[in-house]
């Protein structure tokens, strides 16, 4: 297994390309030598935000509420290495550093790098946790009855109506 390690990346973010309802979620990290972009699932991005928020509590911190979303944008060119299969997030509380490790989905393709790992400081972890939550929330509006995403125009077949109600708006 070949691991690419970014010891002190200056840019780490999560974001999307595409329109709500048809978005591709991405994780991106960049240092002086490498820019790494990985494809993620929406739940994986939400999980990164949640795990970082839980670990920040151990340092008496919380996700940022005043971060610059433009500075946290995905940078071009977007050339994903592979789709994320496994994510590990850890905390070195003594150093106040967070470790994020990503492994690709097992497939038949040969990849030069099988794993990407990087460490970030508390400030970047606060911004990344907030960015992950914000990115996930930018999707389609949710139904007030069932919580499922609604199509353009605000309609969908809502299971809360047992499939017998009219389309919910």
Whether the ω angle into residue 77 lies within 30 degrees of 0, i.e. cis, is yes
Q: Are 69 and 130 in contact (CB under 8 A)?
A: no
Express each pLDDT in 121-155 by its tens digit. Answer: 999 999 999 999 999 988 777 787 787 777 766 67
d(CA 53, CA 48): 8
Q: Are residues 133 and 145 in the same domain?
A: no
Structurally, the chain folds into a number of domains equal to 2
Express each pLDDT in 153-168 by its tens digit. Answer: 667 778 877 766 555 5
Token pair, residue 64, equals 């940022």
Q: Are residues 100 and 21 in the same domain?
A: yes
Q: Is the pTM of this model over 0.75?
A: yes
Q: Are residues 114 and 162 in the same domain?
A: no
CATH code, 103 = 3.30.2450
Q: Are residues 16 and 38 in the same domain?
A: yes
Judged on CB neighbours under 10 Å (0-12, 13-18, 19+), 136 is: buried
Q: Are residues 121 and 56 in the same domain?
A: yes
């Amino acid at each position: 297994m070949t691991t690419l390690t970014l010891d002190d990346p200056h840019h780490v973010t999560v974001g999307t390309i595409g329109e709500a309802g048809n978005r591709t979620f991405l994780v991106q990290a960049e240092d002086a030598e490498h820019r790494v972009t990985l494809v993620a699932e929406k739940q994986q991005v939400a999980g990164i935000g949640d795990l970082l928020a839980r670990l920040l509590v151990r340092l008496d911190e919380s996700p940022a509420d005043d971060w610059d979303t433009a500075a946290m944008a995905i940078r071009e060119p977007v050339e994903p290495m592979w789709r994320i299969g496994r994510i590990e997030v850890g905390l070195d509380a003594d150093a106040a550093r967070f470790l994020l490790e990503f492994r690709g989905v097992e497939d038949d393709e040969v990849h030069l790098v099988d794993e990407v790992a990087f460490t970030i400081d508390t400030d970047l972890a606060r911004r990344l946790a907030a960015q992950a939550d914000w990115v996930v929330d930018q999707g389609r509006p949710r139904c007030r009855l069932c919580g499922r995403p609604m199509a353009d125009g605000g309609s969908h077949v809502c299971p809360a109506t047992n499939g017998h109600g009219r389309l919910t708006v």
